[in-house]
Amino acid sequence: MSRHQNWSDFKKDILVDPEAAQHYLGVALEEFQATGERLFLLRALRSVAEAQGGVGKLAERVDVKRESLYRALSEAGNPTVETLCKILTGLHLRLRIEPISG
């Protein structure tokens, strides 16, 4: 039996932990803010959703149509602030505003 697993499975194993998911999304948000490239954040949100039960289950928890949530988290997605807050709430997280240090 092989002890190796692919990156996707490894990521799911790690991101099932709420603290690891919080850190991962925090880094993705920082990357988004630094580059303006929302794909970092969308991929991270989708990875966490998949690790924590799947996008379909998250859609049920946040009362968003499954198809809409898949579309919002796709590479072409552009979720509204309302949808983003629903997603984070469904993942037991929230946005927090902090001053930029430096």
Residue 6: its pLDDT value, please?
84
Percent of the chain with pLDDT strictly greater than 70: 95
DSSP H helical segments within 1-102, as ranges?
7-15, 18-35, 39-51, 55-62, 66-72, 81-90
Distance of CA 6 to CAs 9, 10, 27, 87, 94, Å? 6, 6, 22, 26, 30
Show the low-confidence residues of the chain (pLDDT under 70): 1-3, 102
pLDDT of res. 9: 82
- Domain layout of the chain by residue ranges: 8-90
pLDDT at 2: 56
φ, ψ dihedrals at 57, nearest 5°? -65, -40
